[in-house]
Amino acid sequence: MSHRNASRRTLLTATAVAATALAAPSAAHAAGSGDRGRDRKLRELISRMSLEEKVGQLFVMHVYGHSATEPDQADIDSNLKELGVRTAAEAVAKYHLGGIIYFGWAHNTRAPHQIADLSNGLQRAALTPDAPEQSPTARIPLLISTDQEHGAVARVGVPATLLPGAMALGAAGSRSTARKAARIAGTELRALGIRQNYAPVADVNVNPANPVIAVRSFGSDPEAVAGLVAAQVKGYQGADIASTSKHFPGHGDTKDDSHSKLPYIHHTREQWETLDAPPFRAAVEAGIDSIMTAHIVVPALDPAEDPATLSRPILTGILREELGYDGVVVTDSLGMQGVRTKYGDDRVPVLALKAGVDQLLNPPKPEIAWNAVLQAVREGELTEERLDESILRVLRLKAKLDLFSDPYVSSRGVDRAVGTRAHLAAADRIADETTTLLLNKDGLLPLSRRTRRKVLVVGADPASPSGTTGPPTTVLGRELTDLGFSPTVLPTGTAPSAAKIAEAVAAAAGQDAVLVGTYNVGAGSAQIALVEALVATGVPVVAVAIRNPYDVARLPSVGASLAAYCWTDVELRAAARVVAGRVEPRGKLPVPVQRADDPGQVLYPVGYGLTY
């Protein structure tokens, strides 16, 4: 008998949960409309769990290492420092964990087969614990998660398929395209053993100065965002993946980053209903499996001015009771400063549970957080019945995803699903719908290989997300070469020095055109000086905004301007194809671009986009 089959038999026997009650769960969340037989079995399972096991099911933690049992020495050191154990498998056993979140910086996501092996190793740790004192009820499969939004946020990189991000999909404006992208993304994650994705972003980005959401949002129109969110929920469901809309009650209108501050959003209740609520309502109606909270203060929703993650009026009063949501509520990372500003790390997890949260994500001090919840129950601040409510929701989701009957993945499944030719081709076709042409003086674009063959490629080189194989200038140059041009590549950075600008001007001599990749150009940015110096050479200049689409407002002197919405390979390749005339620019702005000298005036409205 294979190890996989043996592990599966161990799981089914150890949990004493009838396979027939868990193998085909209902898609409904609420017990009244779900599978009552399944819920009865899950409640029986919960009743046999120790308090420590119950507390553990509520936590989703990160672990270090590419392997569950044999990490590198540096990862052993990190695990010992943060978790008090040497390996990921030991962390699962120590804390009776309900979930694990993968990060690239934790060395969890090096390569597809490695990720699948790590997932299997973690599941074995959860399902076949070595410690004899662990009861059979402790053998519950893990819910493994990650942030694979695509675009600017992706934890799993190449050779997996990387797709355009949310704002690029907003520029495409197609619900069927958004659904297809989610289906591809979910199919690949499932093959890696990752069954919960913290996407799609449901925030409506109405503030161009938003430092944390921006291109992670589908756009600024609530109804358009709602439609794309619902489409992606359906796409992930089709891939048997739990999707997560975030960040409730809406993180789109803020100038502060909740990673480092506690943002305030001063929408009235009426504004919230109109601007922020529609995508979350659409997600609930589409059957979203989990919703992530925001570490933001919305005084109109909770006058106590607690972060939404810790706010019972917001999470229970609005999300549960008004929106009728009975699925899993997961916090944003508890290591973010936004949730740690008012309360200590021992109070945050307890207050989150009291507010209505089910999963406690990534506490900065795991042992303190875990013991704080345990102590709160023992001292009566939290009841076991309250924990049981959340555990039931988490176990329902695990049952819905067939984790009780099929927790493992295979090498063959990875080869069949991850980074396939069909998926990569589909990603390029999707990207071809997204690039937006905002300015095209005298028909500069598309460039002709006959008259404008020599192209200087300069520009920003921000830290690369997982979806890149090199700096943006390198990727653009490589694609232009494949398209028959003769590019010269010169990275100039996001803050080019006077010497670097002079070098770029010298390199422009004899060129037929200059392609500049710009990155979030603000007032006084050295990127403006670079572009103006290049324009002054008389060589035609094409600007490609490789993140936020607002750069064009500060670069009026260029001959042509495109919005690519991110600097991942798939989006840069699509922009190069538009520059070369291989595809028409099809994208339409999903957010307005305001005048740089008068932000009250719109320069390019939502829906704007030129064609050839």
Q: Residue by residue, what is the 3-state secondary structure of 496-515?
A: CCHHHHHHHHHHHCCCCEEE
DSSP state of 328: E
Peptide bond before residue 141 is cis, with ω within 30 degrees of 0: no
Digit-coded pLDDT (tens) for 338-384: 899 889 999 999 999 999 999 999 999 999 999 999 999 999 999 99
Digit-coded pLDDT (tens) for 576-610: 999 999 999 999 999 999 999 898 899 999 999 99
Percent of the chain with pLDDT over 70: 92
Average pLDDT taken over every residue of the chain: 92
Q: What residues pair up with 264 in beta bridges, in sequence order?
A: 297
The two domains 3-417 and 435-604 share their CATH topology (first three levels equal) = no
- 473, two tokens: 């200038």
Question: Order of strands across the sheet with 541-545?
Answer: 436-440, 560-563, 541-545, 513-518, 454-459, 486-491
> Average pLDDT for residues 391-418, to the nearest whole number?
97
Range of weakest confidence among 136-140, 481-485, 538-542, 589-593: 136-140
pLDDT at 133 exceeding the cut of 90: no
Q: Which helix (H) or strand (E) holds 80?
A: helix 73-83
Digit-coded pLDDT (tens) for 154-190: 999 999 999 999 999 999 999 999 999 999 999 999 9
Helices (H), 311-457: 312, 337-340, 348-355, 366-378, 384-400, 411-417, 421-431
Q: What residues pair up with 514 in beta bridges, in sequence order?
A: 456, 541
User: Which amino acids are annotated catalytic?
Assistant: 259, 332
Digit-coded pLDDT (tens) for 200-222: 999 999 999 888 899 999 999 99
Digit-coded pLDDT (tens) for 43-75: 999 999 999 999 999 999 999 999 999 999 999
**Cα–Cα dist 166/156, whole Å:** 16
Residue 491's nearest CA partner among 504, 478, 481 is: 504
Digit-coded pLDDT (tens) for 81-130: 999 999 999 999 999 999 999 999 999 999 999 999 999 999 999 998 66
Angle, vertex CA 286, rays to CA 285 and CA 292, nearest 5:
85
> Average pLDDT for residues 231-245, to the nearest whole number?
98
DSSP state of 493: -
Pick the CATH number of 435-604 from 1.10.10.410, 3.40.50.360, 3.40.50.1700, 3.20.20.70: 3.40.50.1700
**Cα–Cα dist 78/65, whole Å:** 9
Digit-coded pLDDT (tens) for 443-467: 999 999 888 899 999 999 887 666 6
> Average pLDDT for residues 531-552, to the nearest whole number?
97
What pTM does this model have?
Answer: 0.92
- CA 108 to chain centroid, in Å, comes to 16
Digit-coded pLDDT (tens) for 488-534: 999 999 999 999 999 999 999 999 999 999 999 999 999 999 999 99
> Average pLDDT for residues 557-582, to the nearest whole number?
97
Statement: 3-417 belongs to CATH 3.20.20.300: yes
Residue found by looking up tokens 């899950």 in the block: 42
Per-residue model confidence (pLDDT) at position 450: 83
What secondary structure does DSSP assign to 220-246, as a single string? S-HHHHHHHHHHHHHHHHHTT-EEEEE
Per-residue model confidence (pLDDT) at position 5: 43
Q: What residues pair up with 250 in beta bridges, in sequence order?
A: none
Q: How confident is the model at residue 278 (pLDDT cuts 50, 70, 90)?
A: very high
> Average pLDDT for residues 6-35, to the nearest whole number?
43
Q: What residues pair up with 454 in beta bridges, in sequence order?
A: 486
Percent of the chain with pLDDT over 90: 85
pLDDT at 292 exceeding the cut of 90: yes
* Contact present, 220 and 605 (Cβ < 8 Å): no
What secondary structure does DSSP assign to 150-219, as a single string? ETTEESS-TTS-----HHHHHHHT-HHHHHHHHHHHHHHHHHTT--EE---B------TT-SSSGGGSS-
Per-residue model confidence (pLDDT) at position 290: 98
Per-residue model confidence (pLDDT) at position 466: 67
207 backbone dihedrals φ, ψ, rounded to 5°: -115, 110
> Average pLDDT for residues 398-424, to the nearest whole number?
97
Domain residue spans of the chain: 3-417, 435-604
Per-residue model confidence (pLDDT) at position 228: 98
pLDDT at 28 exceeding the cut of 80: no
- Helix 526-535 × helix 498-508 angle, to 10°: 20
pLDDT at 1 exceeding the cut of 60: no
- CA 95 to chain centroid, in Å, comes to 26
Antiparallel, parallel or unpaired: β 436-440 and 560-563: antiparallel
- 452, two tokens: 């404008």
* Contact present, 548 and 518 (Cβ < 8 Å): no
Per-residue model confidence (pLDDT) at position 357: 98
DSSP state of 287: T
Q: What residues contact residue 231 under an 8 Å CB cut-off, 6+ apart?
A: 175, 176, 178, 179, 182
Q: What residues pair up with 517 in beta bridges, in sequence order?
A: 459, 544
* Contact present, 60 and 98 (Cβ < 8 Å): yes
Q: What residues pair up with 150 in beta bridges, in sequence order?
A: 153
Per-residue model confidence (pLDDT) at position 261: 78
Amino acid identity for residue 593 in this structure: V
